[in-house]
Amino acid sequence: MKKKLVYLFEEGNASMRNLLGGKGAGLSEMTSLGLPVPGGFIVTTEACLKYYEDKGKMSEELISQIDEILEKFENKVNKRLGDPRSPLLLAIRSGARVSMPGMMDTVLNLGINDEIAKSLVELTGKERFVYDSYRRFIQMYSDVVSGLDRSNFEKMIYEVKDEKGVELDSDLDAEDFKKIITKFKNYYKKELGEEFPQDPKHQLYSSIESVFKSWNNPRAVYYRQLNHIPHEWGTAVNVQMMVFGNMGEDCATGVAFSRNPATGENKLFGEFLVDAQGEDVVAGTRTPLDISELKKIMPEMYEEFATNSRNLEKYYKDMQDMEFTIENNKLYMLQTRSGKRTANAALKIACDMYEEGIITKEEALMQLDPKQLDNLLHPTFDPKALKEEKPISKGLPASPGAAGGRVVFNAADAVEWKKRGEKIILVRLETSPEDIEGMHMSQGILTVRGGMTSHAAVVARGMGICCVAGCGDINMHEKEKYFTLNGNTVKEGDFISLDGSTGNIYLGEIPTVAATISGDFEKIMNWADEFRTLGVQANADSPRDAAQALKFGAEGIGLCRTEHMFFEADRIKAVREMIVAKTIEQRTKALDKILPVQRQDFEELFNVMGELPVTIRLLDPPLHEFLPQKDEEIKDLAKELGLSEIELREVITSLHEFNPMMGHRGCRLTVSYPEIAIMQTRAVIEAAINVKKTTNKDVKPEIMIPLVGELKELQYVKGYVEKEAQEIVKKSGINLNYKIGTMVELPRTCLLADEIAKEAEFFSFGTNDLTQMTYGFSRDDAGKFLDDYYQKKIFLTDPFATIDTAGVGKLVAMGVELGKKTNPELSIGVCGEHGGDPASVEFFHKAGLTYVSCSPYRVPIARLAAAQAKIRDKK
Amino acid sequence: MKKKLVYLFEEGNASMRNLLGGKGAGLSEMTSLGLPVPGGFIVTTEACLKYYEDKGKMSEELISQIDEILEKFENKVNKRLGDPRSPLLLAIRSGARVSMPGMMDTVLNLGINDEIAKSLVELTGKERFVYDSYRRFIQMYSDVVSGLDRSNFEKMIYEVKDEKGVELDSDLDAEDFKKIITKFKNYYKKELGEEFPQDPKHQLYSSIESVFKSWNNPRAVYYRQLNHIPHEWGTAVNVQMMVFGNMGEDCATGVAFSRNPATGENKLFGEFLVDAQGEDVVAGTRTPLDISELKKIMPEMYEEFATNSRNLEKYYKDMQDMEFTIENNKLYMLQTRSGKRTANAALKIACDMYEEGIITKEEALMQLDPKQLDNLLHPTFDPKALKEEKPISKGLPASPGAAGGRVVFNAADAVEWKKRGEKIILVRLETSPEDIEGMHMSQGILTVRGGMTSHAAVVARGMGICCVAGCGDINMHEKEKYFTLNGNTVKEGDFISLDGSTGNIYLGEIPTVAATISGDFEKIMNWADEFRTLGVQANADSPRDAAQALKFGAEGIGLCRTEHMFFEADRIKAVREMIVAKTIEQRTKALDKILPVQRQDFEELFNVMGELPVTIRLLDPPLHEFLPQKDEEIKDLAKELGLSEIELREVITSLHEFNPMMGHRGCRLTVSYPEIAIMQTRAVIEAAINVKKTTNKDVKPEIMIPLVGELKELQYVKGYVEKEAQEIVKKSGINLNYKIGTMVELPRTCLLADEIAKEAEFFSFGTNDLTQMTYGFSRDDAGKFLDDYYQKKIFLTDPFATIDTAGVGKLVAMGVELGKKTNPELSIGVCGEHGGDPASVEFFHKAGLTYVSCSPYRVPIARLAAAQAKIRDKK
């Protein structure tokens, strides 16, 4: 049997998302729910993949299936593509498994040609509407299918407006549009050497093909990279009967969310335009009306739409983002999908829908995107500092959060400035999909035009970037790279600050403060803790970080690095003396100077963490990192240390490494200089005993030995640590619970985890280094070539951001399995940056880890992700 | 039941080597064969390990077992330790599983004290013998057990000789020895504050303990590292009744091999001394007689020994190294073991013993140590150059091979000079076990004293280092660091050359020539090829290497690196132009210049290799390796390339990497610059077609893509290679068999081998890089800390020399298994340096590889090792 490549809406349903795309599955589902959906059919994602397999050729099989189903559909609606007596006009839209808004191509009003335009005028009596639709079609088709520059078409419209002396599209009449159409067709012929295609079938095939092609246009590829969407999925193509919001005053078109996507308020939120097509709303060229206005203008329509909205929400158990068109007082639903929302809105919606009985707690938790919480965990403007500031203007609060940065005026500059390490605010007249990379590079986005559902607003919310939109006061000079606003001139490179929650715009930089967890956020976090079984700890090197981690719900410190402490001003000299020491005595003498300050570091940490475990990693980086490299500094240091410059340079040279990442570091330092580990152990254990004595709390230090790759290596280092710890504990007469464990960050450690676990009380996967070694990528260098890997679609995601489950994950799973085999009591955590990445957290849950440890600001994300992992697991 | 820690010789046998040590098992076996072995017992290796477990204490249990078995033994021989009426004297010797000659301690003549000495004089009537034995005992015990400096005792003997005005020990009489004994005892008391121990039981226990301790003396530890002997084995202690070769003219003692260990000739080979103890022969202080002299002096003894020798050879199926003593015309066998031999001797003995019907072909192959073949594969002096040279003197040809280097006069200097990269000849009066590390660092060894079985000779043969021994003409000034020889003065740092096969000594450096395979060597190689199933190819980058590899039996080129070619003078400029290119056009233009020379490289290679496969790896190193780093060179190059110095420096800076080993190299270069791979593919394929056309041979190029870690990466790179190759082949109209495969050198590649094998026609494990990544060791840096790892017994062997089967090997096995799962036809090789290491070859055989590839000089080693692996496998 031949594979079915084309489906009528009636033949699909919501579960067929992979095959029919999100939009197609949604249209099918709405159709079967009996909602007023204009009919049509879907060309599957498989057909798209086949198209690419066939090196960009639509197979005869596909064409024949399209023809067949089109005929079926024509019979049903009793209209025919290309039939002047009863012409069928179509909308051709992309639709991948997951929404990629604006990234791929759309062709509307397809099926018109000169003859059909004429007959449509006869049939509808609306000449202006017909020629407006025709010119729209030529414009879109020429851009999308034939690759002509869209702006040239805009220019021709402006020419006609100028001739006529008007400004708005609505000032143009049918004759004007005819003039425009003639201009368009001439231009088309001039550029391409052929007439604008008059055969509706040809129009259809080539439009479908161009949607296929748009799957791989640069901005779609970039969007997929950004959102970790596999390049192999392909897009479906939705072919839907046109309905017209631009047939007059009893017509309208709009988009609306079932709740407020910015605040979560349970109230329809959206915009519409009377006598317009959908693109007019999104493009931001006409300023649309608030959806509440629809209630006044067309109350019945409004009620019907509100009812549909409520029903769809209940049905999909999620807030919906819908498109509708009203054609001659009849409501059509064109799309529904889960709506993008701000993090605050997401929390409120989840809590509200639970309270309203629409969803369960589990469903509430699953509705949230843990990554989005990030937006709530970043600093906002310091209220005190803000009091001193007066905004110079205000726009729409399109995407919340506070941000400051230097102004740039186009996406390319944003990318370049960002590379230089600058914080950037992108200021644009309006944004378009071409700007997506530049937007991603920015701290915040400010636009002159467009509303809350404009491109800038939607994309910024999705990215969690602060956005102030539609600030019409701005006098924009994009090319000249400056704008004026209420008397202020802001040039490229000037610092401004934006408050995406209020829409306020400030000159200069405003200090920010950390976030806290309360209200709906706290409620959700408590629910997450009810469900999750995976522990969440934090990586923290200082009492301040530790305190922040506690506020965000960390259950311990999974990684306290000690090297940062070595760099501090009051000890770096002693550290350097230790490094240049020529004898054990000299080295020990230097270490003796570090001991008291290091002990105090740990006392402060234990005081903050009380009875929660605190995992302290022994010194990890190669020693040369603590020595200066610049001539001047070397000279000064030599003097300070009482060495000749030559002697010091000899030490520096002898410590130089070709590949420091794989050099003399981690426990290898202890193998060479056990004194360092002994001093650190003494500092940890004495600090723990001191704090236990003074606070009477059962302090729980865990000493972590890094970069172990071999059992005997662990035994050797542990020997020193254990001996020192035991002696101190014994002498103190205090009963101290301490553990000694190891980091697992080398492939060999995973491969021999059964051996190594015999000597370790805990494992902590250092997945940063493990990823480096497994891929053979130096993180410091890979940046230079990883871009090529993304561009060439070899890598979808950054393996340092989300764990590579197939490779690195296989080693982790092996490490867990082997480790537990010989040591069933083994506690196993992860302290690489993956510990705060939701997809990675899910993997770690499945792999059977005890806990993840991540930066304090990601602790809430990890808590939610852990709960989701457990809930998914139960299914 | 208590563990038996002590065995009588009668209770043991040859199979108990692990428990009783090699010497003990040999003595037991000889005892049960009815050979005349002086009786005794063995303290097991387990007792030794227990001693270390108990932190250096002999348990009461051990002492009581020793007492018990000693009593049994005393009853049997009717002599008693410490009984003046019938005193038992004992020899205490170490004995590990494998022989570690001279590395551990020995105490002879144990059981004498003042009283027993007197009664022994009465019993034997040989006063001189008795006091000679007593002074030997005090001397050895004081050194070995009590830790006094041996040379001070020698000094006291010289004092007595000087007083008397004689030179030789044999000129001393009983009274002289009594004087010496008094001096010794006084010295002992002065140094240690106690009398020399008179209690024979105390002497016994403390001697056994000191043998235990000697397992961990520095030279034994170093020897084990060198020979990959686990530190955990421990040593047994052999306690044997003394027999005396020094009781008069009807006594003798000697060592002999059943065949000539230097040439393999089937004739007793050895030395002996009349009226002497064993140590006199080995120490080189008296010049011993050739074993053939024994036939004249004591013909019956000689015959009996010769018969024992033949029988032991047949019994053990190997050439034997024996010690014997004749006491009053009675022959005692003191030891037998497989004898160390030169590589040539090993080949001849194996072939002869097969011809003689003593062993099978398999046994002949198994008798050989593949590593030893190395000695035969190294260059010898160029006969032409040698003709011009006249030796300045001649010593004993103690260990064959030719070597030149700068003279140093002690082991410490040898180590230091070697570190500086110098080739060294170590010149010593005589060597001792303390010199072992320095000997290992040397190209050759020259001694003034000692014979063919002297320490220097035995150790040098074992190490495969050239040695000329006993060159008595040398006037040695060790301390002053020079010697004179026949009118020449040779100072530290002067260059000399040694011929270990002739004993000749030359001034200056003499050119050498490569070895060839013929005679017994060829025979053995042919046998090896009969048995082995693992293929053996060679790593060769040039036609010269390829030709050498063919001579040594390589079945193809498993790795041709192309980067060396890039460095050659006629192309490095174009390579650099390619690197600084700013556009694809510029890069392609530069590559076009490289193409013809690169094509010629491959044509030459294909011409040599004919129809054998030639695996060519695409460019691997990071591009910065091709650019200069020094200011002057940068200036020159900038001028040459027509760039400003700043521009060139910018390129160099942008290419700098923190960890180049994990940087932009391997196939990552192709991902960024496909043009390079395209050019190389073109060069390979065009060369193959050209050679096929002209020679009509079925040339077999295999293109190897390095550093692949991901299927899509391989697909991407292979896409370009395949396309280019197909186009050229198609255009040529010639049917070319080429393959495209990948190196497996990253952990991830092994973990995902099932995926990657779908796109690869062959795998080649790059175990150098795989070892680096698995351990997280940079080979360039690890040298600095690996010494600590050996010293602290964390590592036994260098994982870059012998594959780490537990870790890296696990990944290899996984790679093979997964790879074959999806691609059963997959050919799998290894091209890291492990390919020529026998232990690693055995592993690769077991892992199911198709072939190993190693340097041309190691091809014969790999062939033999592969045969041994197969033979072991069959068992």
Write out the two tokens for B802. Answer: 């012998």
User: What's the pLDDT score for residue B528?
Assistant: 98
Q: Which residue of A has its CA nearest to B709?
A: A775
What are B24's two structure tokens?
């003990």
DSSP state of B556: S
Question: Does pLDDT of A458 surpass 80?
Answer: no
A378 has a pLDDT exceeding 80:
no
Whether the pLDDT of residue A875 is over 90: the answer is: no
Tell me if B774 and A659 make a contact (CB, 8 A cut-off): no
User: CA A616, CA A740: separation in Å to the nearest integer?
Assistant: 10
Contact: B747, A752; criterion CB under 8 Å: no
- What pLDDT does residue B696 have? 95
Interface test with A, best of B714, B751, B758 (most A CBs within 10 A): B751
Among B219, B322, B211, which residue's Cα sits nearest to residue B261?
Answer: B322
Q: Could you tell me the end-to-end alpha-carbon distance of chain A, in angstroms, rounded to an integer? A: 35
Taking contacts as CB-CB distances below 8 angstroms, the residues of chain B near A810 are 751-752
Q: What is the pLDDT of residue A282?
A: 66
Average pLDDT, chain A: 92
Pairing of strands A827-830, B106-110: unpaired
Contacts of A664 in chain B (CB under 8 A): 781, 784-785
Check if the beta carbon of residue B813 is closer than 8 Å to that of residue B750. Answer: no
SS3 A267: coil
Distance CA B303, CA B312 (A): 14
- The answer to which of A96-110, A318-332, B11-25 has the lowest mean pLDDT is A96-110
ipTM of the complex: 0.79
| CA distance linking residue B243 with residue B644, whole number of Å | 86
In the prediction, which pLDDT does B283 show?
Answer: 64
Nearest residue on chain B to A804, judged by CA atoms? B748
pLDDT tier, A1 (very low <50, low <70, confident <90, very high otherwise): low
What is the percent of chain B with per-residue pLDDT over 70, rounded to a whole number?
Answer: 98
Going through B482-604 in order, the beta strands assigned E by DSSP cover 482-485, 488-491, 495-499, 504-507, 512-513, 535-539, 557-561
Chain B contacts of A769, Cβ < 8 Å? Answer: 776
Contacts of residue B809 in chain A, CB cutoff 8 Å?
none
Q: Which amino acid is at B780?
A: D
Active-site option among A750, A831, A834, A854: A831
Contact A776 B752 (CB under 8 A): no
Q: What pTM value is reported for the model? A: 0.80
B845 Cβ contact list (under 8 Å, min separation 6): B533, B534, B866, B869, B870, B873
Q: What is the DSSP letter of A80?
A: B
> Strand B235-241 relative to strand B90-96: parallel, antiparallel, unpaired?
antiparallel
Smallest Cβ–Cβ distance between A774 and the set B712, B747, B793 belongs to: B747
A809 vs A797, more confident: A809
Q: Are the CB atoms for B9 and B27 separated by under 8 Å?
A: yes
pLDDT, average across residues A710-719: 96
Sign of the Cα pseudo-torsion (A817, A818, A821, A824, in order): negative
State the amino acid at position A97 in one-letter form: R
How far lies A190's CA from each of A136, A141, A148, A157, in Å?
A: 19, 16, 11, 17
More confident residue, A795 or A401: A795
pLDDT reading at A810 higher than 70: yes
pLDDT, residue A397, reads 84
Query: SS in 3 state form for B403-451?
Result: EEEEEECCHHHHHHHHHCCCCEEEEECCCCHHHHHHHHCCCEEEECCCC
Cα–Cα distance between A232 and A234 in angstroms, integer?
A: 6
Mean pLDDT value across residues A525-532 = 97
Task: Give the span between the Cα atoms of A117 and A598, in whole angstroms.
Answer: 83
Residues B691-707 pLDDT 10s: 999 999 999 999 999 99
Instruction: Give dist(CA B210, CA A466) in Å, integer.
Output: 78
Average pLDDT rounded to a whole number, residues A652-658: 87
Among the partner-chain residues B657, B658, B773, the one whose CB lies closest to the CB of A776 is B773
Nearest to A245 by CA among A337, A333, A169: A333
Best of A55, A658, A752 to disrupt the B interface (most B CBs within 10 Å) is: A658
Q: Which of A284-288, A760-764, B700-704, B870-874 has the lowest mean pLDDT?
A: A284-288
Instruction: Please state the separation of Cα B610 from the chain's center in Å.
Output: 35
Alpha-carbon distance values, A799 to A69, A777, B757 (Å): 44, 10, 22
* Backbone φ, ψ for residue B388 (5° rounding): -70, -20
Write out the DSSP string of A127-149: HHHHHHHHHHHHHHHHHHTT---
CB B661 within 8 A of CB A662: yes
Mean pLDDT of A533-552: 92
A781 vs B659: CB contact, 8 Å cut-off? yes
For residue B173, give the amino acid letter.
Answer: D
Q: What is the mean pLDDT of residues A35-53?
A: 96
Instruction: Name the residue facing A775 among B748, B780, B793 (closest C-beta).
Output: B748
In this complex, which of B716, B745, B781 lies closest to A662 when CB atoms are compared? B781
Residues in chain B where the model's pLDDT stays below 70 = 1, 282-285, 378-379, 433, 453, 461-464, 514
| pLDDT, tens only, A223-282 | 888 788 898 999 999 999 999 998 889 999 999 999 999 899 999 999 999 988 877 776
In which order are the strands placed within the sheet that holds B475-477? B475-477, B482-485, B488-491
Distance to chain B for A773, nearest Cα, Å: 5
Angstrom distances, CA of residue A287 to CA of B76, B167, B715: 117, 119, 49
Of all residues in chain B, the one with the smallest CA distance to A811 is: B751
| Catalytic residue check, A466 | no
Residue A587, both tokens: 């080295």
B718 touches chain A (CB under 8 A): no
* From B752, B780, B808, residue closest to A658, measured CB to CB: B780
Q: How far apart are CA A110 and CA A126, in angstroms?
A: 18
Tokens of B428: 């010593």
Could you say which of A351, A440, A455, A624 is catalytic? A455
The DSSP code sequence of B266-317 is SS-EEEEEES--HHHHHHTSSPPEEHHHHHHH-HHHHHHHHHHHHHHHHHHT
Residue A757, both tokens:
């676990």
Report the share of chain A in percent with pLDDT over 70: 98
**HSE on the CB side for A212, CA within 13 Å?**
25
Structural contact between residues A273 and A62, judged by C-beta atoms closer than 8 angstroms: no
* Cα–Cα distance for residue pair A172/A162, rounded to 1 Å: 11
Give chain B's end-to-end CA distance (angstroms, integer). Answer: 35
Q: Is B785 within 8 Å of A810 when comparing Cβ atoms?
A: no
pLDDT at A101: 79
Q: Which of residues 273-292 of B touch A (CB under 8 A)?
A: none
- DSSP state letters, A772-841: HHHHT--HHHHHHHHHHHHHTTS-SS-TTTS--TTTHHHHHHHHHHHHHHH-TT-EEEE-SGGGG-HHHH
Strands of the B252-257 sheet, one edge to the other? B289-290, B269-274, B252-257, B320-327, B330-338
The closest alpha carbon to A242, from A251, A233, A234, belongs to A251
Name the token pair of A97: 């498994």
A353-382 burial string, b = 16+ CB within 10 Å, else e?
bbeeebbebbebbbbbbbbbbbbbbeebbb
